[in-house]
Amino acid sequence: MKKHTISALLLALVLPVSAQAADDKVIKLATTTSTDNSGLLAYLLPTFEEKTGYQVQVIATGTGKALRHGRNGDVDVVMTHAPAAEAQFVEDGYGRVPRQLMANDFVILGPKADPAGLSQLDSAVKAFKVIAEQQRPFVSRGDESGTHMKELALWQQAGVATDFTGYSAIGQGMGPAMLTASEMEAYVLADRGTYLAFMERLQLEVVHEGDDSLLNPYQVILVSETHYPDLNHAGAEAFSDWLVSEEGQQMIDSFTINGQRLFQATYQQ
């Protein structure tokens, strides 16, 4: 056999192994825009990657789409914030080892004048009801994100259909939704972390916060080995383990913007 033929055969054998080795060091994460827009991932990932040698590729989207990526086997791990949808994801056999990772909260933003008087109310459900009764402008993400799911749940609890005159669903992420609401002098539901990251660009203030219905918990969930045995399960497990480790939880707690902590670590052994 000619020398160059032998070399070609050896190269053909080596390349797939090398490509597989490279793939094993890449972790595909589907997560929410809030963890990305807030800057949390940019803060956490360099430490994890340096310590482990893994590289995390991030798909930042709404929770609904993130979980669909998991169902389709497009990613190795998901990090989302919609408890009911996450429970269904696990119950249907597409997710495993769900871990309560951290939490922040939702806030209702509105014009500084707060024409609907939401700051005087004692619950988000009452606030939503007043917005509809007064036909105040309200901007919805309308994108199946965790924030959108929370918003729809609040309208349902308030007994309000989202077909009132002031309601606008834009089908975009948290940043565009807040910027649109700012331009329209409208109300909007936002996660606190993304609001803090955008607040200097907005003519909006927090007009309602603090009640239990606005709690915003996050989970990290591995994608099923049974459905998708060829995913990078070892990498996904290493990432999940690090996030709930003492170091990961301390870093989550220490992440701040303008001196304000954005997320509270919540994992319990």
Question: In the chain, how many domains are there?
Answer: 2
Confidence grade of residue 15 (pLDDT, cut at 50, 70, 90): very low
* pLDDT for position 19: 46
Summarised one tens digit per residue, pLDDT across range 83-114 is 999 999 999 999 999 999 999 999 999 999 99
Verify that 226 and 165 share a domain, yes or no.
no
Domain of residue 179, residue span = 105-214
pTM, to two decimals? 0.83
The residue among 199, 207, 238, 206 whose CA lies nearest residue 222 is: 238
Verify that 122 and 171 share a domain, yes or no.
yes
Verify that 230 and 169 share a domain, yes or no.
no
Verify that 194 and 225 share a domain, yes or no.
no
Q: Where does a domain end: 214, 231, 254?
A: 214
Confidence grade of residue 141 (pLDDT, cut at 50, 70, 90): very high
Verify that 51 and 130 share a domain, yes or no.
no
| The pLDDT of residue 237 is above 80 | yes
Summarised one tens digit per residue, pLDDT across range 158-192 is 999 999 999 999 999 999 999 999 999 999 999 99
> Domain containing 126 — which CATH number?
3.40.190.10
Verify that 33 and 99 share a domain, yes or no.
yes
Summarised one tens digit per residue, pLDDT across range 28-78 is 999 998 899 889 999 999 999 999 999 999 999 999 999 999 999 999 999
Verify that 207 and 133 share a domain, yes or no.
yes
More confident residue, 257 or 117: 117
Verify that 84 and 205 share a domain, yes or no.
no
Instruction: Calculate mean pLDDT across residues 7-30.
Output: 64
Verify that 170 and 131 share a domain, yes or no.
yes
| The pLDDT of residue 16 is above 70 | no
Confidence grade of residue 22 (pLDDT, cut at 50, 70, 90): low
